[in-house]
Amino acid sequence: MYSRDDRTTVKHGRDDPATVKHGRDDPATVNNSPAPQKIGIPYLVLITLSDTLLARGASIIELFDNELLVGKAEVASDNEFTPVIAWGGSEEYKIAGFTKGHPIMVHVLASDGSLLAAKIDGKFGEGAFAEINLNKSSSAAPTEFVVGAVYPNPCNPIITVPFSLSV
């Protein structure tokens, strides 16, 4: 049993998984929600956000392995990307965390906790780190569109609307 100023208590037992309790003054608590357990094997995930997400108030990034929260960080406003550490698990030592090869699910939250974006991309533990781009600009997006006249008559139950998209 280890205790530091009665704010953070870490208990490790042979037969039960490690539990971590965080107090409200503990820096491990972000946006009043619990942080993932910072034990196990760390894995770096670099997240690039779009200007649109930043303008909508993106403030927190969470990483999930299925439904298990394995990483969480505040959005870095002064950098091109935000580094997030995901924590790996071990069945042998009963440590909850990501499993190597599982897909990475990213949630981007506003400061009020509302979900702004979600994406599944990459896999935990493949390579030295993972890089996930949530920048919606893409060369495959239409650059121009044209909508033609409706025919034969807009009052008919069946009409044709010609359109074209250029990429």
Distance between first and last Cα of the chain: 61
Give the pLDDT score at 166.
64
Report residue 14: phi and psi, to 5°.
-70, -40
pLDDT in tens, 42-72: 999 999 988 888 888 889 999 999 999 999 9
**Cβ-contact 135, 124 below 8 angstroms:** no
The amino acid that residue 21 corresponds to is K
Please tell me the distance from the alpha carbon of residue 92 to that of residue 79, in angstroms, as a whole number.
38
Report, as an integer, the average pLDDT of 33-38. 72
Report, as an integer, the average pLDDT of 124-150. 76
Give the pLDDT score at 167.
52
Give the pLDDT score at 24.
34
Please tell me the distance from the alpha carbon of residue 51 to that of residue 17, in angstroms, as a whole number.
40
**Cβ-contact 58, 113 below 8 angstroms:** no
Give the pLDDT score at 159.
80
Residue 37 above 50 pLDDT? yes
Residue 33: pLDDT band with limits 50, 70, 90: low
pLDDT in tens, 67-125: 999 999 999 876 678 999 999 988 888 888 999 999 999 999 998 989 999 999 999 99
Longest pairwise C-alpha distance within the chain: 79
Torsion-angle region of residue 12: left (phi > 0), alpha (psi -120 to 50) or beta?
beta
Give the pLDDT score at 131.
93
Please tell me the distance from the alpha carbon of residue 83 to that of residue 63, in angstroms, as a whole number.
11
Give the pLDDT score at 82.
92
Residue 28 above 50 pLDDT? no
